[in-house]
Structure 1
Amino acid sequence: MRLRFNFAEKEELDQIHEATLDVLKNVGVNFHEKEALDIFKAHGARVDGNTVFIEADMVTKALSTAPSKFEWKGREKSVVIGDGGSISVPCYGPIYRLKDGEIKDIVPQDYVDVTKLHESSNVLDAGNPNVMEPVAIPRDIRRNYQMATALKYHTKPVMGMVDGKEAAEMSIQMAQDFYDVHDQTPVVAGLINVMSPLGISTAMCEALITYARAGQPVVVAEGGFPGVTLPPSIAGTLVSNNAGILAGITLAQLVNPGTPVVYGLPAVSGDLKVISMAIGGAETPLFVYYAKEIANYYHLPVRAGGGLTDAKAVDYQAGKETALNLFATYGAGIDFIIHACGILDTYNTISFEKLVLDEEAALSIKRQFKGFVVDDRHMMIEEIAKAGPGGSYINKRTPKIYREEFMLPKLANRETTQNWLKDGAKSVEALAADMVEERIGNYKLPELADFQEKILEKYIPQEWNAD
């Protein structure tokens, strides 16, 4: 027995698609980079200034060459995107850390420690050099440091940098050298953010073209703010976002047909009372459900959702909003989940304690969607008869079938009140802090080959080369 979702009707998806094609043909999308404009011109698209008008047949052809799934390689572990599983990826871009109840600037040790948490996670399937902005690292070496640090501490696949052509080339080359892979095997995934409404910046165009030429996966994503940068309705937001996403996917396929792409819809709710996105809003899950349906419509893997909240502390609001969004994300079967664990403050802040709490929430939600088995072994008629009316099923050892069926969380408090008080009356956040310290302390650096150590020495300054 399993929970199943069926969100959108085909007729509704057809309507969204046809409206999107109308926008692409008659409104167009701005590409703020000459090479992108030249590529579209060379393939017959009408271009007026920075605006490209894309015909339906060009979109259809691009979608036909985009693979429905692909393998993403790490140092020792690889994952498949688009095969029906949900690949969870860390946060992207926080500029602060919540620590000891205070919002603090990020320091290099934070960056190293969070990467160790990612590698030791049984929920997160990949690493992300963009997990936080280590502002203490000088800007001229920051991106190199981030990429090298992610490669150093991970055996899992890692994302890449996308701050223009130079950062994109650096990420791809460093990963290829580190893995000793020098073909178009996917070794880094780049997140290409479309500007709302209907625009792709110079840096994002450069990165998209660079990744596509190298055969590296691109997550083409557009979020935005309904009522400010997007139409003030959900359907209108979806049409506008869909146009921007399909325009980016089309460019990737024009550059290199067969480039792995992920349809990215990190659309969220908004609050016009305070003029702010509301990533924990009630409507955010609706975008998640739709994202999966429209990506299936195009036969593409999808990025959406995550453990999202606008809360500034690890409190009830954080727990409620995160749980609702994670439930929608794993329930919809989202293929590629950025911000899976640890995010706070409308993307601005990361909490290591929330990271491990989110892991437990994700495992609980996955357990729900796993369902349960109904057969002779699991109905246990003989055991029921043996125990009889008023009997007991308690044994000296926990039965194997119980361990198969029931999840035992490490952080949730299920003790009696007296035992809890006796043990110090610790909150789950305090227990999470203990777990964070334990996992970082127990982390073992994966063995490095000589050539890998030389690569890392080149990019990680000695004073920040902490193990």
Structure 2
Amino acid sequence: MHKAAVLSEEELKKINSTSLKILNEVGIGFHYDYALDLFKKAGFKVDNGKVFFTEEQVDEYVSKAPSFFTVKAMNPEKNIPIGRGYISFAPGYGSPFIVEEGCNRQATLSDFRNFAILTGSSPHIDFSGGILLDMKDVPADIKHKVGILELLRHSDKPFMGSSDGARGAKDSIKMAEIVFGEDFVANKPVMVNLINANSPLAYSKTSLESMIEYSKVSQPLIISSITMAGATAPATLAGALALQNAEVLAGIVFSQLINPGNPVIYGGASAVTDMQDGELSVGGGETVLFATASAQLAREYNLPVRGGGGSVTDAKIHDNQSSQESGMTLLGTVAADTDFILHAAGSLQFYNAMSYEKFIFDEDLCGTMKYIKKGLNIDEEKLAFDVIKEVGCCGEFLSNIHTFNHFREEFHFPKVSDRHTYSKWVDMGSNESLEVAKRMLKERLEENRNKNYLDSTTEKQLMKYAGLDEKDNLTAS
């Protein structure tokens, strides 16, 4: 599949040059004394809480990060390669609300569990997720542990750890060690962890603590910047991109300072500000431009890349706007040859809410994207000259054995979209796609609710660590 591009080689050089100028002359605020001391000891200029980077320092440290790595799963068949043209999808992340019947309500542990079941049983979502939802009914100090427990129970895929400072990272690592073993986690990537810069031009103590803990055991980091053009970045897309790039490069340098060779993913997640009310806007063409440019920049540094969202939208409910924007942003991100796509399923309201029905639609769309990503398989059998010659002029291929032998592997069959004729669709009950999605949702949850990928001993250890008793009641606060 041809890689989409929006920047010429000369424009890439200009973006990179401006980013290096920002790093060298403006600097990045690292709001953690321990981090500043590490930079000082390594010979970086540090002044008034900011770190300044030379081009040589950026090149030296960024080049230490690998271009490819594999995240291990409980089920080895679900290991996920990152880089080299592979693509992986992860669900929505961090939403405090659920959209039901057109209204927002606060997300709960029950909702988190449902989405963990959906991601775990999904044929197209590769990561079970991280902070699938911000649960209102779970105490803040154990929320991340309860969430990871649910992800591990309901999926044998890789997950995303907590980025809630040293505590969240240590807890994520410990829970992974209970499942995989301490030595395994110390030597193999088993999760991916999202680290966000504080735009403009800063990293918080919380983010830096997380980076340090994960890097100690070589766990992959998405070093991400989500600048808001017009608010936390210049209103020009080029300026916002240069700022984003500077922030991401600074974070990557820090990760390699802690642990040379630590796996990282370049996280380009910038978007624009809706100037009507000052909120983030992710559903427009700007998101595709940012994602495509970010992928080009990441390739310049020989790094895998996270796109700026997947099936994302500004729509408040799953409607025509939602479908239009989600399809555009996901296809644009995939076409850019993005390696890791977060918010690939379920997201509404510029990341602020999740929808069960939209998850089903988006998941189906991810399947289509993987089909498109594979491209065409061209060989003598597929070119089918002998079949064309046999059928000849005015014949038909429908009854030919060649069609029977190949259509299943060559064609993509979406689960939600209806391809029947109008009359057959009417005969089948004239079901709207939303009703189909609701039925699929109910069947999936019922079918997978009682599946548990943990053995009883491991589950009990995780429950105790998470602060739950044997009946899943919260015992900590």
Coarse TM-score class (shorter-chain normalised): over 0.9
Equivalent residues of 1:176, 1:187 under 8 A apart = no
Residue matched to 1:10: 9
Residue matched to 1:128: 129
For residue 381 of structure 2, the aligned residue among 377, 383, 390 is 377
Gapped regions of structure 1 (runs ≥ 5): none
Identity across the alignment (%): 34
Residue matched to 2:338: 334
Residue matched to 1:60: 59
- In 2, Cα distance between equivalents of 1:95 and 1:103: 9
Residues 1:233 and 2:236 are matched in the alignment: yes
Q: Which amino acid aligns with 2:275?
A: L
Render the CA deviation track for 1:27-46: whole Å, top value 9, x for unaligned: 00111111111111111222
TM-score where L is the length of structure 1: 0.94
TM-score where L is the length of structure 2: 0.92
Equivalent residues of 2:3, 2:337 under 8 A apart = no
Equivalent residues of 1:3, 1:369 under 8 A apart = no
- In 1, Cα distance between equivalents of 2:456 and 2:320: 48
- In 2, Cα distance between equivalents of 1:89 and 1:396: 40
Q: Would the alpha carbon gap of residues 322 and 235 (structure 1) be closer, same or farther in structure 2, given more than 3 Å must change?
A: same
Q: Which amino acid aligns with 1:129?
A: G
1:273-312 to 2 correspondences below 5 Å: 273-305=276-308, 306-312=310-316
Residue matched to 2:444: 439
Residue matched to 2:250: 247
Q: Would the alpha carbon gap of residues 461 and 107 (structure 1) be closer, same or farther in structure 2, given more than 3 Å must change?
A: farther
Residue matched to 2:164: 163
Residues 1:363 and 2:367 are matched in the alignment: yes
- In 1, Cα distance between equivalents of 2:307 and 2:351: 14
- In 1, Cα distance between equivalents of 2:368 and 2:377: 17
Residue matched to 1:429: 434
Render the CA deviation track for 1:130-166: whole Å, top value 9, x for unaligned: 1111111122321211122112222111110011111
Q: Would the alpha carbon gap of residues 379 and 56 (structure 1) be closer, same or farther in structure 2, given more than 3 Å must change?
A: closer
- In 1, Cα distance between equivalents of 2:130 and 2:252: 23
Post-superposition offset of 1:83: 2.5
Q: Which moved more, 1:451-460 or 1:207-216?
A: 451-460
Three-state SS of the structure 2 residue aligned to 1:47 is: strand
1:261-276 to 2 correspondences below 5 Å: 261-276=264-279
Residue matched to 1:174: 175
1:304-323 to 2 correspondences below 5 Å: 304-305=307-308, 306-323=310-327
Residues 1:144 and 2:153 are matched in the alignment: no
Post-superposition offset of 1:251: 0.8
RMSD: 2.0
Equivalent residues of 2:152, 2:454 under 8 A apart = no
Residue matched to 1:454: 460
For residue 417 of structure 2, the aligned residue among 396, 407, 412 is 412
Q: Which moved more, 1:179-188 or 1:33-42?
A: 179-188
Three-state SS of the structure 2 residue aligned to 1:30 is: strand
Render the CA deviation track for 1:169-226: whole Å, top value 9, x for unaligned: 1111111221124223212221110011001111111111111122111111001210
Q: Which amino acid aligns with 1:219?
A: I
Post-superposition offset of 1:437: 1.1
1:188-227 to 2 correspondences below 5 Å: 188-227=191-230
Post-superposition offset of 1:380: 3.3
- In 2, Cα distance between equivalents of 1:221 and 1:270: 18
Post-superposition offset of 1:92: 0.9
Q: Which amino acid aligns with 1:236?
A: G
For residue 353 of structure 1, the aligned residue among 347, 357, 364 is 357
Q: How many residues align?
A: 465
Three-state SS of the structure 2 residue aligned to 1:283 is: helix
Residue matched to 2:41: 42
Post-superposition offset of 1:367: 2.6
